[in-house]
Amino acid sequence: MSTPAAARLIAARDARQQSDYIFDFWTALGWTILSCGIYGFYVWYRLVERMREHNRRRLAFLEAANEAAWNRANEQGRAEELRPRFERVGADLQVMRSLSGEFRDPAIWTVLLLIGSTIVMFIIYWLLDADLIKHGAAEADAEQQLSELFSILGMGTVVAPPSPGPKPPHQYAMRIVATLLTCGFYSYWWLADLMREGNDHFRRDWAWEDAVVVAVA
């Protein structure tokens, strides 16, 4: 027997305690200095891991929310009328599924960083930023469609926190040059940006998730 959508919704929300790791840059930097750089590799591991796990968790949450709305639409005999909206959500979820299947193993990337050093660091910076942009755009559209569907179907009003809009990509060439010209010191500024943007993204997601769980459960 399949797990009801409401139960999967709650399970995905509760899993954020494991997936959505919140970084404190100064704490991470302090431990990195005290450990002569060793802790820094753990930071890299968690950066890659948290983006991968957050995407997987959010995919599970949105799939459950979509199923709950679809079930309600069928109960009300409005499934065909609202099908275009559900198909749009499905397209957003497919983008997130494709991200979950890409090469983002944190252990392997950490080993590659040990071997490739600066070059691999730049690749990881780029991947983390690009993944957040792609993931954020897909889930934002899915959230909007689902919020409207919940309202149309009488499932309650789900208001997402104000969105800062599409995230612009980091200026990769400029940041790489700045890192090289400062003998690596600028990379810490870049790292702080990646941590902060991820933290802000997660916290915004939590507020919407809490509202959805109340509406569905």
Boundaries of every domain in the chain: 5-216
- pLDDT beyond 70 at 2: no
Share of the chain above pLDDT 90, in %: 85
- Rounded average pLDDT over 37-65: 96
Closest CA to 193 of 44, 25, 31: 25
The Cβ of residue 26 has, within 10 Å, a number of other Cβ atoms equal to 9
pTM value is 0.92
The angle at the Cα of 207, spanning 71 to 56, to the nearest 5 degrees, equals 65
CB 27 within 8 A of CB 12: no
164-205 pLDDT tens trace: 778 899 999 999 999 999 999 999 999 999 999 999 999 999
Closest CA to 60 of 16, 12, 92, 17: 12
> What pLDDT, on the 0 to 100 scale, is given for residue 203?
93
> What pLDDT, on the 0 to 100 scale, is given for residue 160?
67
- The two tokens of residue 195 are 């941590």
> Could you give the CA distance from residue 13 to residue 71 in angstroms, rounded to a whole number?
20
- Per DSSP, the residues of 151-166 read HHTTS----PPPP--S
